[in-house]
Structure 1
Amino acid sequence: MTPAINLLKQLNIPYTLYPYPCDAHDDFGKHAATQLGLPLTQVFKTLIAYHDKQAVVAIVPSSGLCNLKQLAKATGLKKVEMMKPADAEKLTGYKVGGISPLAQKKGLPTVLDDSAMQFTEILVSGGKRGLSVGVSPHAMERLLKWVVAPIGEPHP
């Protein structure tokens, strides 16, 4: 079990495990959706951005990108930029391709793209490559205090 799954168990938050074979080296969200036969809009990727010393978590559909201006606005920061993968791994305790928005080493403000609210279940990383976890976006907003905002944008 990963720290992400342990947190869901500890908080008694319903979830479904979605293991899949992972041989991807990039675009892990798209790979997960393809392996699981689910729409890219329902499988979300976890991104880490920052401004000065403040890091924030962005959760956006695998089908698109994160709008950094909207993410900054949602978190009350002047502006944000994407964190380097090695720094994100160090900060979260997870490897790229398996960075979960759940149970990171340090509690960070977390923003979920508002498109998630159309689903009863979304998939996020379960804390390692080849493992997604299905959770209710409404439960994440209510129980984990995720901010919901329009931070996603379509891939060009």
Structure 2
Amino acid sequence: MAGSATPATAALTHAGVAYSTHPYDAPGKEAYGTEAAEALGLDPHRVLKTLVAEVDGTPVLAMVPVAGTLDLKALAAARGGKRAVMADAARAQRLTGYVVGGIAPLGTRQALPVVIDLSVAEHATVYCSAGRRGLQVELAPDDLLAATHGELAEIASP
């Protein structure tokens, strides 16, 4: 798709991962993932938000369905740490090179560990930010896991 290349889609292409992009009008409020699910007519359990957190001071990307929230205690446990906190927006943007609402798990400025909620296994494909507001990428959960070198863990709360 012309004009849809981002560092995230370039990383997927380079890795040989099959994916499709889905543009939508992004009103740009604050619930970016929910907006994406609504605009594309998708089940919010299949659309993942990519959040930047820190476990014992080490940055990590956490991916959970937009229908739920990140369980920080579960994230800390999944990473073998004691405490997890959300990174502020400025730090998230500096670490990833993406703006809030368009943070993708691939093509980040700094390579970060990725933890993906176990619920992705329930779906044939999932959606996540392609690296900018108004653009989602659809791919198989196994491909997302492989491309991000991520780990699966139960880190979402309803």
Give the TM-score normalised by the residue count of structure 2.
Answer: 0.94
2:94 aligns to what SS in structure 1?
Answer: helix
Any residues of structure 2 matched to 1:57-72 within 5 Å, and which? 57-72=61-76
Counterpart for residue 137 of structure 1:
141
Q: Gaps (5+ residues) in structure 1?
A: none
2:55–2:79: 8 Å Cα contact kept in structure 1? no
The alpha carbon displacement at 1:143 in A equals: 4.3
- Equivalent residue pairs, number: 154
Question: Gaps (5+ residues) in structure 2?
Answer: none
Aligned to 2:53: 49
Q: 2:103 aligns with which of 83, 87, 99?
A: 99
CA offset digits 1:30-76 (Å, max 9, x no partner): 00000000011001100010135410000000011000011011111
Letter in 2 for 1:118: E
For residues 128 and 144 of structure 1, what CA distance do their matches in structure 2 show?
17
The answer (yes or no) to whether the contact 1:110–1:147 under 8 Å persists in 2 is yes
For the residue of structure 1 that corresponds to 2:82, the secondary structure is coil
Work out which of the residue numbers 81, 87, 91 in structure 2 matches 1:87. 91
* Secondary structure of 2:115's aligned partner: strand
Match of 1:4 in 2: 8
Q: Distance in 1 between matches of 2:107 and 2:44?
A: 24
Q: 2-side partners of 1:138 and 1:122: how far apart? A: 10
Residues 75 and 109, structure 1, Cα contact 8 Å, conserved in 2? no
Aligned CA-pair RMSD: 1.0
- Name the structure 2 match of 1:124: 128
Distance 1:5 1:123 in 2: 13
CA distance in 2, matches of 1:99, 1:141: 16
Percent same amino acid at aligned positions?
Answer: 38
SS of the aligned residue for 1:126 comes to: strand
Q: Distance in 2 between matches of 1:26 and 1:52?
A: 27
Q: Normalization by structure 1: what TM-score?
A: 0.95
CA–CA distance in 1 between the matches of 2:52 and 2:27?
23
SS in 2 for 1:116: helix
Per-residue CA shift, 1:60-114, capped at 9, x if unaligned?
A: 0001100001101111122110000111001100000000011111111100000
> Which of 133, 150, 156 is the aligned partner of 1:152?
156
Q: How has the CA–CA distance of structure 1 residues 86 and 143 changed in structure 2, closer, same or farther, with 3 Å as cutoff?
A: closer
